[in-house]
Each structure stands twice: as structure tokens, then as C-alpha cells.
Amino acid sequence: MGVSSAGVHGHLLALIHKDDRFSEHPIDWLRALYRYCDKKVTGEPAIRKFQGLPATKLDGGGFATLADTTVYFPLQRGRRYGFEHELPLLHPDLVWARARKT
């Protein structure tokens, strides 16, 4: 029936692509998605397909397509240098989880 060739990553990437509200997901959700994709999206074709999706949250709030954009890690936690607006930086909360209020 072709079920063995249907990979989780194919369905996952299609869902990401068709999610009209993808940009509204909170940082914690995106962080969990990226961790999941790191483990499940394997093989060159799947990785290229993920890189072709506008799914990487930038510091300015927008999303980048990794196939077209080089995205840089933030330089230092909580520190700004004044030129960050010139570079596509990964949203810092994806790298450094904020302390949660208890």
C-alpha cells in the first residue's frame, strides 16, 4: 500500500507549509518543533525541503527560508551591539530559554 514509504517528515513538512497560523506559535512551541525536526527530518531531500520552508524565526519577528538566507546565532545573551538589524539573527529566545516565573 505504499505505507512504508510514507515518512513522518513528509507529513510534518506539509503541515508546516500549509499552516496559515505558523507565525503565531509561541517560542516554546517552535523550540520543541525544531528539536523534533532535528531528530526526525533526516536525509538530504527532507532536509532541503525543510530548508525551503519559511520556518526559522528571526530576531525581528519574521521568518526566514534557510535555503535563501544565512541565519546567524545571536552574539551574546541580553546584549545588543547596534548592528543586529543588519543581519538575519535567530530569535534569541530559541537559543536561550527565558527563566519562567514560578
Instruction: List the chain pLDDT tens, one digit each, 102 residues.
Output: 344 445 666 788 889 999 999 999 999 999 999 999 999 888 899 999 999 999 999 998 999 999 999 999 988 887 888 888 889 999 999 988 764 544
Distances (CA, A) of 44 to 9, 21, 47, 49, 50: 12, 27, 5, 8, 10
* Domain segments of the chain as ranges: 3-95
Which H helix or E strand runs over 36? helix 27-40
Tell me the per-residue pLDDT of 17-26, one tens digit each, with 9 for 90 and over: 999 999 999 9
Q: State pTM to two decimals.
A: 0.79
C-alpha grid cell, residue 57: 524565526
Query: 80 — alpha (psi -120 to 50), left (phi > 0) or beta?
Result: beta
Residue type, 57: K
Grid coordinates of 3: 505505507
